[in-house]
């Protein structure tokens, strides 16, 4: 195989892996949101509880072939399932293209998996599971090759997490008093601290800006009369985009001021 063919093959493999994991995290998040054990048991229809067979478990294809309905009871399945499988397939390809098969790439990818899972749970029950945040924090040392294992740069990241997380905590408390209701949940603040760890302070600020814009878009998605907005999906998508292309955007922005 030529280099080009190999690249297409690996991208296809990445898309497949992402779609399978997207499907798995949908199921894991559904169980977590209902207080069930997430790692064991057969996948079931969320409406009638019918155990899904092999043909109903193919990511993307099963949803399309069944026209978005359960084969057993005919109930409509949420579009979110299909979008998650397609979206995470795409993100996996982009992550592979950007970071290659490296330790740093693996660390970023585990971070993306944690972000997806916590976003799906937050979308359903407005809670960010601590387990996802802890898993992401534990995977962070995998990204140290990108910092050349330099003690000063590692310290800078840890301080970024404390400063960014602490700053968001103070901002949230101030907003709470101003609006007389909770603006950001504790989970959101811990998630921001995690962004500081993975992105550093400058890129975290970029991600914050982007997440505010995405949060406004998310507020337009109808949620059956529920006025609350789950913010984690917006923060997570902003974090992923910033990890992929934040450096390019910041370089471009700084270039505007270079004479």
CB-count burial class (<10 Å; 0-12, 13-18, 19+) for 211: buried
Is position 241 an interface residue for Zn ion (rule: CB under 5 A)? no
Distance CA 224, CA 40 (A): 31
Decide whether 72 or 173 has the Cβ nearer to Zn ion.
Answer: 72
Decide whether 73 or 83 has the Cβ nearer to Zn ion.
Answer: 73
Q: What residues are paired with 69 via a beta bridge?
A: 76
CB of 36 to Zn ion, least distance (A): 17
Decide whether 55 or 219 has the Cβ nearer to Zn ion.
Answer: 55
- The region of 15-23, 50-58, 87-95, 129-137 touching Zn ion under the rule CB under 5 A is 50-58
CA 198 to chain centre: 13
The answer for residues whose C-beta is within 8 angstroms of residue 189's C-beta and 6 or more apart is 165, 168, 169, 172
Decide whether 65 or 219 has the Cβ nearer to Zn ion.
Answer: 65
The answer for residues whose C-beta is within 8 angstroms of residue 159's C-beta and 6 or more apart is none
Quick one: which of 45, 60, 93, 205 contacts Zn ion (CB under 5 A)? 45
CB of 77 to Zn ion, least distance (A): 8
x/- mask, Zn ion, residues 61-100, rule CB under 5 A, reads ---------x-xx-x-------------------------
Q: What are the CA-CA distances from residue 143 to residues 54, 89, 154 (Å)?
A: 36, 22, 10
Angle (deg, nearest 10), helices 186-218 and 130-139: 100
Is position 47 an interface residue for Zn ion (rule: CB under 5 A)? yes
Decide whether 50 or 173 has the Cβ nearer to Zn ion.
Answer: 50
Question: What are the residues binding Zn ion (CB under 5 A)?
Answer: 45, 47-48, 50, 70, 72-73, 75
């Amino acid at each position: 195989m030529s280099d080009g063919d190999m690249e297409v093959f690996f991208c296809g493999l990445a898309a497949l892996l992402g779609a399978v994991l997207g499907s798995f995290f949908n199921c894991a998040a559904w169980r977590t949101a209902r207080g069930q054990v997430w790692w064991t048991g057969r996948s079931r229809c969320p409406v009638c509880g019918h155990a899904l067979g092999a043909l109903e478990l193919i990511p993307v294809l099963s949803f399309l072939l069944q026209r978005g309905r359960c084969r057993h009871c005919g109930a409509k399945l949420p579009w979110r399932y299909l979008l998650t499988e397609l979206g995470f397939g795409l993100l996996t390809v982009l992550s592979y293209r950007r970071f290659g098969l490296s330790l740093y790439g693996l660390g970023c990818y585990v971070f993306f998996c944690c972000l997806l899972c916590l976003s799906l749970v937050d979308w359903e029950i407005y809670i960010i599971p601590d387990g996802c945040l802890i898993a992401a924090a534990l995977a962070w040392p995998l990204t140290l090759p990108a910092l050349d294992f330099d003690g000063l740069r590692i310290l800078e990241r840890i301080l970024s997490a404390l400063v960014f997380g602490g700053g968001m905590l103070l901002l949230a408390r101030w907003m709470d008093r101003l609006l007389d209701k909770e603006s950001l949940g504790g989970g959101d603040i811990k998630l921001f601290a995690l962004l500081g760890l993975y992105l550093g302070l400058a890129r975290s600020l970029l991600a914050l800006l982007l997440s505010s814009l995405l949060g406004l878009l998310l507020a337009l998605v109808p949620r059956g009369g529920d006025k609350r907005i789950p913010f984690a999906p917006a923060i997570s998508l902003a974090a992923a985009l910033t990890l992929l292309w934040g450096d390019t955007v910041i370089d471009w922005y700084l270039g505007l001021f270079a004479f």
